[in-house]
Amino acid sequence: MNKFWIILSHTYMTKFKTKSFLISTIISLVFIFAIANIQTITETFSGDTDKIAVIDESGELFTPLEESVEGSTDEMDLIAFEGAEEDGKNAVQDEEYAALISLSLNAEGLPEATYFANNIAEAGEQSVIQQQLQQLKVAAATQQAGVDQETITEIYSPVTISKVALDDSAKTAEELNQARGIVYVMLFLLYISVITYGTMIANDVATEKSSRVMEILISSASPVTHMFAKIVGIALLGLTQVGIIIGVGYSLIMSKQEELTGGVFDYFGIQNTSASVYIYAIVFFLLGYLLYATLAAMLGSLVSRTEDVQQMIMPIILLVMIAFFIAMFGLEAPDSSFVKITSYIPFFAPMLMFLRVGMLDIPFWEVALSSGILIATILLFAAIGARVYKGGVLMYGRSSSLKDVKKAIALSKKE
């Protein structure tokens, strides 16, 4: 047991001191800081208000258009241009104005416009102008037809639909929206972590084999001890990194609680989510990691060159991607039969059963059954993985086929 802790601590400290760990942690913290300060950053880089010249040939469209644009955005400033259209075009080319708009009325007395700009690839300003002119057109057309504007507003107002769940245990619409946000965050975190740390385990084993360090290690500790020490060591490394990121992120959110209330953080339900959701997130995160990490260590032991690692662990990455894509579908239909069935498949259970737990009130026995199947699968792959790892660490030469699993098991029996 002492050898297990020695290998575990060595794996943990070696990876903890690497530049890749430091850089990835810093990048993640910078990203969280940017999200927490997104409003300030957006305002900083938003730049000056675009000045747009307007020639109103009708003499009656500029004022209502200006009022509509001011009410919809702060990034545009409409200025009445007194010169000729050619003078306005020259002013745009000289970058005195961002664009020129020529307003007029057609034969039916409805507004139309021509938009002049040096570059019409940016659709933001054009879209705003078009939307506001559309409203003016509707107002003018309804006035000509003798229809009251309030009647038109009532007709175009959205239909009110109240969603009421008859099942007392069902979640409300607000609770579902909050759960959907936090579940999405946890799914994405699990997806990234499994791929990152699973690849790290496989690469670490392949690196030791390529440098012949493995021969020294297995002479002092059994391959099985070595495999599980690496799995647990990198798991602790991952928990350390995730803990730092979550800790800093939570501190930033709490420090800006009043500023961020009602925004994207309210949608993600960070403050209002039940504690049980976080507990299930930790449980399924650890179970998912153990399943895929065991497979990664097993497959990593079959290759002798780091160049072959990505090809060998591609099945793992594909399984994680499939689970993630099903989960994305499940966010909109968590109670579908397809999501329910796949939540019992071990490779998909960490994401899909957590999805169902977070968004639905399902019986505890379903969670227990899925967890039990997942744990049994982990134990099975751990037993098989230990055999493969035991023989795989002794295999050298090019290896990029899953057929080498049989060869590794055969080697493990000869010891």
Dihedrals phi, psi of 170, to nearest 5 degrees: -75, 150
- Evaluated on CA atoms 118, 120, 125, 126, the torsion sign reads positive
- The side-by-side arrangement of strands in the sheet containing 50-56 is 76-80, 50-56, 99-105, 111-116
- Which distant-in-sequence residues (6+ apart) come within 8 Å of 217 by Cβ? 7, 208, 226
Overall pTM surpassing 0.85 (yes/no): no
Of 223, 199, 239, which is closest to residue 382 (Cα–Cα)? 223
Dihedrals phi, psi of 262, to nearest 5 degrees: 90, -5
pLDDT at residue number 344: 92
Q: Of 37-51, 242-256, 331-345, 378-392, which gets the smallest average pLDDT?
A: 37-51
Contact predicate 234/200, CB 8 Å = yes
Under the banding of pLDDT at 50, 70 and 90, the label for residue 376 is very high
pLDDT digits (tens, 9 = 90+) for 285-328: 888 888 888 888 777 777 666 677 777 788 888 888 898 888 88
Contact predicate 412/321, CB 8 Å = no
Q: Of 82-86, 188-192, 201-205, 216-220, which gets the smallest average pLDDT?
A: 216-220
Q: Which residue has the higher pLDDT, 2 or 123?
A: 2
pLDDT at residue number 282: 83
116: β partners: 100
Summarize the confidence of residues 28-33 as an average pLDDT.
80
pLDDT digits (tens, 9 = 90+) for 258-273: 555 444 455 455 555 6
Q: If DSSP codes are grouped into helix, strand and coil, which group holds residue 57?
A: coil
Please, what are the domains in the chain? Answer: 48-156 (3.40.190.10), 167-413 (no CATH)
Of 289, 285, 276, which is closest to residue 360 (Cα–Cα)? 276
Under the banding of pLDDT at 50, 70 and 90, the label for residue 244 is confident
Contact predicate 289/194, CB 8 Å = yes
Summarize the confidence of residues 328-338 as an average pLDDT.
84
Under the banding of pLDDT at 50, 70 and 90, the label for residue 397 is low
Average pLDDT along the chain: 75
- Number of helices and strands in the chain (H, E): 19, 4
Of 67, 130, 68, 76, which is closest to residue 98 (Cα–Cα)? 76
Q: Which residue has the higher pLDDT, 336 or 274?
A: 336
Q: Is the pLDDT of residue 218 over 70?
A: no
Q: Please report which residue ranges of 17-84 form alpha helices under DSSP H.
A: 19-36, 38-45, 62-72
Summarize the confidence of residues 141-155 as an average pLDDT.
73
51: β partners: 77
pLDDT at residue number 266: 52
Pairing assessment for the beta strands 111-116 and 99-105 based on DSSP bridges: antiparallel
